[in-house]
Amino acid sequence: TADHPTVSATAVDPTPNASGVATFTAVLDGTTTVTIGSQLSLFNLAPGPHSIVFTAVDNVGNSKSETRNFRILATSQSLLQNLDAAYAAGKIPGTSTYYSFRQQLVSAVQRHNVGDYQGERSILNSLIKAFIAARNASTGQECPSGMPPCLVIDPPTADLFIAALAELIPNIGRTTLVS
């Protein structure tokens, strides 16, 4: 999910003496207009299925739409890259929280790289619990030091990591996805 693929498509009016293409749009998941030719940040997309509908309208009002479906499934490596991006964006203001999560993800990547999927799964099971605890601590409860309410991690960002981990953990080492 750390990738930034380019949304690319072309529209051509194929009929003889065609009027030409007047508009060409792309809509992600039925709600978000995406600029064709731009990079699509997958960081803020939840894991699972997504779609982009491309619609071309010619100069006399005829339209045609095509849908492209894709699925986001995180890996330990992509979660590590997203963690670094979230920290750089200020979504994880707690340095100790960030380094703790990062150390666990580095260990998970190392386990994955040597084919130790059970070890990777075990680390990620602990990590999902840590994300849940950090998110819950960010909902206005007092900081451990007794100071006013603190933010350990941005709750929507924590929710994205939790969802990605929940989908990744049962799929580690599999060749077909468990939904």
- Contact yes or no for 157/91 (Cβ under 8 A): yes
Q: Is the pLDDT of residue 140 over 60?
A: no
With a cut of 90, say whether residue 101 has pLDDT above it.
yes
pLDDT score of 143 more than 90:
no
Q: Which residues pair with 137 in a beta bridge?
A: none
The confidence score (pLDDT) of residue 5 equals 80
Distance (Å, rounded) from C-alpha 10 to C-alpha 137?
47
Rounded CA-CA distance 68/63 in Å is: 17
Confidence label for 39 from pLDDT (cuts 50, 70 and 90):
confident
